[in-house]
Structure 1
């Protein structure tokens, strides 16, 4: 074991134990809590459970006497009432998918403008001399025109142009010309619907900024080749014939085609609230300074009758916060409370875009300038693919030196002394393609100049699937990772000097 252990600190660290952790997580990730969806009953049950636990531990309710900070959100449902081609009806999320916003709109189209690949270049232009404002347009959403050798007409080589490789370029080009509706023909529709179909039809959740959420860009409906050919049925052509003709002539085949299309769609926005859950432990001599220890308690909820349990993401981190809170509460009750105050916070709507922590950072209950650190636990209960065949005794400690050189040193010393985990810094690489540092709640503290550590055990095949269940959690490791956060918090809460903010490695 480490050389200079503090027996008092060590005593309270052992309060963080696998039996207690298992009790919490078995409830939070149970079928009864239905995946803790934001704005769903299961999410509210989880918030109530955490608040009851904070109360039982004797933590103060800091939001005007409540443990709940209501986060004002809006839910925008995009509803496709009808989508019919030649009298045949199709269903959003099953036969096609629709991305849009704005007020209820009804379109009865007798003709549409075919605009090829939606490309505008000197060498090849699908939109030259064509006015599509207020019209329904049909675009091929993949690929680009080729010459007889199979080279891109735009680049002149076998390297595709950015029209073909960018996900957004052709849509931005078309949208800028203000059509009423964009119909995109995709060869990968079946795969997209299988992967995202349910999600694509779900309401969007955002912070309620008090202004209307209506967007005025043209809605996009993505259909497969079969539906596109049905649309062209009267005209004697097809998608394949048109794209073959573009390649054969090396010219755009844009033009107006007679169709029979009937559709109604539009957005409805409703406000609702979901709670951050806050428990406050007052410090002694330096009580105006604050540590914030966070985890998000929400997950993906119940989707079409399938529960996304979210045991690791982030039942594990929430359990970690409850365990750390119990250790500090017991220390305080026995006369060993921290010098600085600690706010334990379980935040909502992380899965919707870090919304709960964003809301707290804009409406802090304690001044941000007095907040010395945020330690965040998000997914601390599993072994990731990288470590599966190697050392299981590890944790990713992300962002520890981005704003404070001292913080990384304190965390490393706490680890060497008490927990002896392998500290993996792979996600601190500024070139990390996953951008993990920006994807959990600590980022909403870091962007205000508050030093942070994000404790994370990494991604695994059950991430964001219904298979993220309690039976796969390593409770001994979960507790060890939570103990590291506890020891680091103990040092920061009790040292004479406030943590320095002396670097910016963003």
Structure 2
């Protein structure tokens, strides 16, 4: 009896869902399957494609793969007869051709890493050790001697403590800005205009291990705009070194980091000094032009074909490093690229059967998202179709996993981000499409303007939103394998991935076929 009553209670909801469904639309959504999604993703996130790195062979292979499938679906090549919109990219890397210290040779990216700009060389026979590099009435190391044009060694973490465990600068257990703001110490030092800063920290070996050669890979920008500096207002090169390298220098002065900190704690006074040892280095910025393309395929609409719905996802990831480690990027963003391909095929089949959309749909696989949303920035600044005629951008970036928030709870969810930022109608279309067809929890946590992750601003849809175009960003959330070599196909939840793809399909179908363009009636942060 209890089961019968439960079924009776469920029936109104089930009938309501069935009445809300359009069988024609459902038939084409159901062309998106676990099997076809797996075929694409297992290729895109394969060893063969080498992590689809910007400027790497794997990225080119991915672009070719997408274009070939767009062509096979019968999509039009909208970039003057091509599926490719090449980006004018510029990679700027800071390379070190020589670094000899205390009679030993060290390698940038392996033993240390340098941040800087321009080109230069430094040859010194002495290094000034300035301890914590503090300029304060209670503990002033920077005024002990003139460091202009000199090589200085600084401990880029911590600050002086007294024997009772209190910090000397604050007189309490509360640290000062030298600890709270990790750039404060270096900013103070740069104002003194040394030739080179050797900044020692226990974090350096950890970063070198975790980041590998990505830490020295350089920065990327659109060539027309110039590459954006990785560190603002850098006037002095900073060589980030390990405590072991610092102790190699300090040993020449018959001390060490441990002896230095013990002496500070005992005396409460600076322990700066000049150390006689040789340093010789040559370094400089190297610029390289890259031309990774956005990949575009157009499905032309009918009576409203001049209006365009964009369905997008970036195809690039972190590629392969010098050790041969592949960052497969199955979820980020092989899953979103797969969604673009699956939706393109489904809508193309609908058009072949005479059920094509009223508005045109532009499918875009963006390049260089991982380098700063550069592919979508380039498209927004050089649109193939007028932005004034672009109705919405539905962007898919990471839809294949279960995130940390939902791992022990409901797996039947999707983060829907930004749908109400500009258009209340787009928000409602997402909600209704899910209610009628996909029945997931729509998680809006990242719409909170106080979200410290600022996820809304971190994928390609934002370059459309900046121009007042309503957007939605579909996202399954962060997980422990994000941007690691462990983001692989075997961890993808294909059942949920397909559900999420179908939600995007139903939203796109509705927006592409409604009588009026989406209203733009808000501008939320």
Does TM, normalized by the shorter one, top 0.5? Answer: yes
CA drift of 1:213 comes to: 7.1
Q: Secondary structure at the match of 1:468?
A: coil
What is the CA deviation profile of residues 457-482 of structure 1, one whole-angstrom value per residue up to 9, with x for unaligned ones?
11222221222222222222211111
CA drift of 1:496 comes to: 1.4
Please give the alpha-carbon distance, in whole angstroms, between the structure 1 residues aligned to 2:471 and 2:188.
40
* Pick aligned residue for 1:277 from 271, 295, 299: 295
The residue that corresponds to 2:47 in the other structure is: 31
* Pick aligned residue for 2:30 from 14, 32, 36: 14
In structure 2, the CA distance between the partners of 1:211 and 1:294, relative to structure 1 (3 Å rule), is: closer
Please give the alpha-carbon distance, in whole angstroms, between the structure 1 residues aligned to 2:247 and 2:46.
47
The residue that corresponds to 2:109 in the other structure is: 93
* Pick aligned residue for 2:56 from 29, 33, 40: 40
CA drift of 1:212 comes to: 7.7
What is the CA deviation profile of residues 185-211 of structure 1, one whole-angstrom value per residue up to 9, with x for unaligned ones?
113333222212322132332221365
TM-score, normalisation: structure 2: 0.92
Please give the alpha-carbon distance, in whole angstroms, between the structure 1 residues aligned to 2:227 and 2:295.
28
The residue that corresponds to 1:464 in the other structure is: 483
The residue that corresponds to 1:138 in the other structure is: 153
In structure 2, the CA distance between the partners of 1:213 and 1:415, relative to structure 1 (3 Å rule), is: closer
| 1:359 lines up with 2:378 in the alignment | yes
Please give the alpha-carbon distance, in whole angstroms, between the structure 2 residues aligned to 1:459 and 1:375.
19
In structure 2, the CA distance between the partners of 1:32 and 1:41, relative to structure 1 (3 Å rule), is: same
The residue that corresponds to 2:122 in the other structure is: 107
| 1:446 lines up with 2:474 in the alignment | no
Compare 398-407 and 144-153 and name the one that shifted more.
144-153
Show the 5 A alignment for 1:172-191.
Answer: 172-191=187-206
The residue that corresponds to 1:127 in the other structure is: 142
The residue that corresponds to 2:210 in the other structure is: 195
Please give the alpha-carbon distance, in whole angstroms, between the structure 2 residues aligned to 1:387 and 1:161.
38
In structure 2, the CA distance between the partners of 1:386 and 1:216, relative to structure 1 (3 Å rule), is: closer
Please give the alpha-carbon distance, in whole angstroms, between the structure 2 residues aligned to 1:86 and 1:313.
43
What is the CA deviation profile of residues 224-280 of structure 1, one whole-angstrom value per residue up to 9, with x for unaligned ones?
233222223333333333333333343333443322112222221111110000011
Q: Secondary structure at the match of 2:20?
A: coil
Structure 1: 4+ residue segments shifted above 6 A? 212-215
- Count the aligned residue pairs: 505
The residue that corresponds to 2:9 in the other structure is: none
* Pick aligned residue for 2:91 from 51, 56, 75: 75
| 1:499 lines up with 2:518 in the alignment | yes
Compare 288-297 and 131-140 and name the one that shifted more.
131-140
Residues 311 and 473 in structure 1, CA contact (< 8 A), matched pair in contact too: yes
Q: Secondary structure at the match of 1:35?
A: helix
CA drift of 1:325 comes to: 0.9
* Pick aligned residue for 1:256 from 274, 290, 298: 274
Compare 170-179 and 287-296 and name the one that shifted more.
170-179
TM-score, normalisation: structure 1: 0.95
In structure 2, the CA distance between the partners of 1:343 and 1:429, relative to structure 1 (3 Å rule), is: same
Please give the alpha-carbon distance, in whole angstroms, between the structure 1 residues aligned to 2:72 and 2:123.
61
Compare 19-28 and 270-279 and name the one that shifted more.
19-28
Please give the alpha-carbon distance, in whole angstroms, between the structure 2 residues aligned to 1:249 and 1:144.
14
In structure 2, the CA distance between the partners of 1:211 and 1:375, relative to structure 1 (3 Å rule), is: closer
Please give the alpha-carbon distance, in whole angstroms, between the structure 2 residues aligned to 1:497 and 1:390.
39
Please give the alpha-carbon distance, in whole angstroms, between the structure 2 residues aligned to 1:209 and 1:122.
47
Q: Secondary structure at the match of 2:523?
A: coil
Residues 113 and 239 in structure 2, CA contact (< 8 A), matched pair in contact too: yes
| 1:288 lines up with 2:272 in the alignment | no
The residue that corresponds to 1:324 in the other structure is: 343
Compare 154-163 and 119-128 and name the one that shifted more.
119-128
CA drift of 1:343 comes to: 0.7
CA drift of 1:139 comes to: 0.9
CA drift of 1:129 comes to: 6.4
Q: Secondary structure at the match of 1:217?
A: coil
Q: Secondary structure at the match of 2:138?
A: coil
CA drift of 1:131 comes to: 3.4
The residue that corresponds to 2:20 in the other structure is: 4
What is the CA deviation profile of residues 303-329 of structure 1, one whole-angstrom value per residue up to 9, with x for unaligned ones?
221111111111111111111111111
Compare 381-390 and 315-324 and name the one that shifted more.
381-390
CA drift of 1:147 comes to: 2.7
Please give the alpha-carbon distance, in whole angstroms, between the structure 1 residues aligned to 2:214 and 2:501.
33
Residues 90 and 227 in structure 2, CA contact (< 8 A), matched pair in contact too: no
The residue that corresponds to 1:410 in the other structure is: 429
Please give the alpha-carbon distance, in whole angstroms, between the structure 2 residues aligned to 1:475 and 1:169.
46
CA drift of 1:146 comes to: 1.7
Please give the alpha-carbon distance, in whole angstroms, between the structure 2 residues aligned to 1:288 and 1:179.
59
RMSD: 1.8
Residues 232 and 259 in structure 1, CA contact (< 8 A), matched pair in contact too: no
